[in-house]
Amino acid sequence: MSTKKMWGGRFARKTAASVEAYTLSVTFDRKLAAEDVAGSKAHARMLAEQGILTLEEAERIQEGLEWVRQEIAENRFEWKPELEDVHMNIEARLTDLIGPLGGKLHTARSRNDQVALDFRLYVSRRLTQWGQALANLSAVLLDRAEGQRETLLPGYTHLQPAQPVSLAHHLLAYAWMFRRDHERVTDALKRVRVSPLGAAALAGTTHPINPDSVRAALGLDAVFGNSLDAVSDRDFVAEALFVGSLIMAHLSRLCEELILWANPNFGFVRLPDAYSTGSSIMPQKKNPDVCELMRGKTGRVYGNLTALLTILKGLPLSYNRDLQEDKEPFFDTDETVRASLSIMADMMAEMGFNPENMRRSLAKGFLNATELADYLVTKGLAFREAHHATGAAVAFAEREGKGLEDLTLDDLRQFSDLIGDDVFAVLSYEAAVARRVSPGGTGQKAVDRQVDDLRAWLAGVIPAEIGG
């Protein structure tokens, strides 16, 4: 590797090949190329505005950067590992193209503020896509929920049958999670979209720069306040990795339910063929591999968050090379989050529901026991006593192999003489759901209000997505 190092002035011997391979980042940070060029163009423009470069010099630099951008976009760019990273590859090529003037671009700038800027621009672009994908998935869930307001299934606590709920209500629970994730993305973006350029290596610069001009040219929202912090802050990456982790947690919970629901013992859903796989040995199998992998990939996404937090914990101010390790965890999380959100949206759009099996399961777990207890309360019994009497009725029905709704009035009156003919209307599962119209409840009227609320939220975020 013979290319002269940009920082080679004070070195007498060349870098060991093993060290070159160990320290280089161009194999992965070339993902930041578009951001690097955009940041450099904005920097050159500002240098001219401030009289640090002439207008003509800045124009030639910007023109040269545009050629470089095109070479990269069209895959004609020759990446050189001996040039270490994306920044030096681009600057070297610029100098090839426009001559020694290329060397003036780095005036009043360091790779330390440069890489922070590039990465902030990159994370901002990707988080904006996460936001769109979250809104899209929520819209799919909302569409599917609207068609399932009358489908009832067991609601569970402790994975034991608890009370009947509507499938719409169950699906919307996830839409609320993804809505909160969307809010977290929007909030994190406020701290991502801060320009660090002008911090230079760590202490600012003696050149009369104007960091706000760079910020404005790049459409960012704010400028750094402290140069030491600006070059060493990776909070924005940690936040993005956390937001990604929580998105995956929510997806993973949904996956876990789909895996259970696809099991014939539940039989609540039919996985679309395009989103399941077969077994090479057992011909009857239809496996929920997509859901399993999404659940599994969640582990790796958590690992990325832990990796970054651990990288940061012992770093003295300001920039340390450890920070180069911030990129791969984010790239990996980003790929997983985007693919998972998009696949989940497509899969949910096609998910087959089996309302008959859901309905049949309702009869298995005394899901109307709370109804009987509440009924006795309305007849004047204290809740504790009503609970006890209902428990005894459940034990009786269990011995008889029946549901509460299958018992006769005489059977039921053994447990309380407050029970009358009107009890059977109360024991109906449909009634149990329909009557739960308390705010946020599973009753249709309450579910309608959720749908309206979520629709209004989506109308606000879908056309005018954050950050452009």
Question: Which residues are catalytic, by number?
Answer: 158, 279
Cβ-Cβ contacts under 8 Å for 308 (sequence gap 6 or more): 234, 237, 238, 241, 325, 326, 329, 330
Q: Are 172 and 141 in contact (CB under 8 A)?
A: yes
Does residue number 85 form part of the binding site for ligand ARG (CB under 6 A)? yes
Round to the nearest angstrom and report the end-to-end CA distance of the chain: 42
Cα(155)–Cα(165) distance, integer angstroms:
5
Residue range at the interface with ligand ARG (CB under 6 A); choices 90-98, 126-134, 317-325, 374-382: 317-325
Of 174, 173, 172, 166, nearest to 359 by C-alpha is 166
Residue range at the interface with ligand ARG (CB under 6 A); choices 128-136, 319-327, 421-429, 433-441: 319-327
Cα(372)–Cα(102) distance, integer angstroms:
81
Q: Shortest approach of ligand ARG to residue 7 CB, angstroms?
A: 8
Residue from 53, 61, 68, 115 that binds ligand ARG (CB under 6 A)?
Answer: 115
Residue 420, CA atoms < 13 Å, CB-side half-sphere: 4
Cα(186)–Cα(53) distance, integer angstroms:
37
Nearer to ligand ARG, 203 or 395 (CB): 203
Cα(370)–Cα(390) distance, integer angstroms:
8
Nearer to ligand ARG, 113 or 405 (CB): 113
Residue from 226, 324, 357, 370 that binds ligand ARG (CB under 6 A)?
Answer: 324
Q: Are 230 and 319 in contact (CB under 8 A)?
A: no
Strand segments (E) across 128-187: 152-157, 160-166
Does residue number 112 form part of the binding site for ligand ARG (CB under 6 A)? yes
Does residue number 323 form part of the binding site for ligand ARG (CB under 6 A)? yes
Nearer to ligand ARG, 261 or 319 (CB): 319
Residues 215-234 that bind ligand ARG (CB under 6 A): none
Residues 19-38 that bind ligand ARG (CB under 6 A): 25, 29
Residue from 69, 111, 170, 234 that binds ligand ARG (CB under 6 A)?
Answer: 111
Residue range at the interface with ligand ARG (CB under 6 A); choices 54-62, 108-116, 141-149, 407-415: 108-116
Residue from 2, 321, 408, 438 that binds ligand ARG (CB under 6 A)?
Answer: 321
Query: Can you give the binding site for ligand ARG, defined by CB under 6 A?
Result: 25, 29, 85, 111-112, 115, 319, 321, 323-324
